[in-house]
Amino acid sequence: MDFKKNKRSTIVSSPSWVFHASVTTFSSAIAKTLLFPLESVRLRLQLNNRQGYLVHNSIRDSIKHTLKNAGLTGLYRGLGLSLLREFAYLVPKAYAYEEVKNYFAADVEKVGYYRKTLPILAATGAGLAVCNVLDIIRIKYITDGAGKPQRSVREILTRLKSFDGFSITNGLLLNFFRHSAFISAEIAAYEQTKLLIIKKLKWHKDSTQLHVASCVSAGFLASIVTTPFDVVRTRYMSQIAEDLAHPNVFRTVLDMVRNESLKNFYKGFAPFVLKTIPSSLIFFTLSENIKGAYLKQLWT
């Protein structure tokens, strides 16, 4: 079968990825709100005892300390910024998923690797066009307040604007690698796990347990691949416009390698996994169900 012909027929029989993205974004926003304390804890653990931040020995210790000093609202500090970031990334991610899925399903012996990676890179670039500066502000806003008065978003922006070394491209390349790695690992793990289980265990391709197992695999692998990038990004972006100990990403990594153990590159891994797996479950399950319902309606 000709690949291009197969690809066109697949896209025609698929729901609009914009509609798909809208539904998954709304659902993911609900999950993001419920799981946001884990995001807050993850960032605090990644800055554990660094740059003047307090020591948190565990997830429980971080939550307990935050509740004691800032109350429940402290665990949700920065939720609005994170939701804006989520919206900007999920729409292009939905596009990437549909495109890559078509390539995996193509009835050909070999599909060029670039055909699978280009939609992912395009999706990452689209998200970063909006979110790189938002990531800097979000990280600083969520982690701000450890041993110093908490600043508003406006105060953080004013501080950034007054700093000569600040640019909207600070950490852009690192962010690009981080999100490309995450989307690639998540989508690839989901699709490959499904194919492996169907082939080896003979599970039905639309079974609930197949989707759950594939989503757990996708979330876990994406967390393993992404956490080192995530830790470096948090360390670097949190000190922009402060006491600039690390003027670039390379110096941040070098300082961690020289002065810390390699396990610190996986700081905050547990809350990252606990947050990512439910998010993957919602995204992929909705993706499959939306498409299934659309196709059923199309042919009836």
| Cα 233 from Cα 240, distance rounded (Å) | 11
Q: Which residues of 39-72 are buried (b: 16+ CB within 10 A; e: fewer)?
A: bbbbbbbbbbebeebeebeebebbbebbeeeeee
- Kindly tell me the burial class for residue 78, based on how many C-beta atoms sit within 10 Å of its own C-beta (0-12, 13-18, 19 or more): buried
Q: What percent of the chain has pLDDT over 70?
A: 68
| Cα 38 from Cα 180, distance rounded (Å) | 22
Neighbours of 128 (CB within 10 A): 24
What pLDDT, on a 0 to 100 scale, did the predictor assign at position 10?
42
| Cα 175 from Cα 171, distance rounded (Å) | 6
Residue type, 48: N
What pLDDT, on a 0 to 100 scale, did the predictor assign at position 295?
46
Q: Which of 54-63, 106-115, 164-173 has the lowest mean pLDDT?
A: 106-115
| Cα 284 from Cα 43, distance rounded (Å) | 25
Domains and CATH numbers, the chain: 14-298 (1.50.40.10)
pLDDT in tens, 81-125: 888 887 777 766 666 766 666 655 554 445 555 566 666 677 677
- pLDDT at residue 1 tops 50: no
What pLDDT, on a 0 to 100 scale, did the predictor assign at position 220?
95
Output the DSSP codes for 253-295: HHHHHHHS-GGGGGTTHHHHHHHHHHHHHHHHHHHHHHHHHHH
In the structure encoding, which two tokens stand for residue 57, read together? 């020995």
- pLDDT at residue 299 tops 50: no
What pLDDT, on a 0 to 100 scale, did the predictor assign at position 245?
56
In the structure encoding, which two tokens stand for residue 240, read together? 């922009």
Task: Write the Ramachandran bin of 77: left for phi over 0, alpha for psi from -120 to 50, otherwise beta.
Answer: beta
Q: pLDDT class for 7, splitting at 50, 70, 90?
A: very low
Q: What percent of the chain has pLDDT over 90?
A: 13
Cβ atoms of 41 and 63 within 8 Å: the answer is yes
Tally helices (H) and strands (E) across the chain: 11, 0
pLDDT in tens, 201-260: 888 887 888 888 999 999 999 999 999 999 999 988 888 877 655 568 888 888 888 888
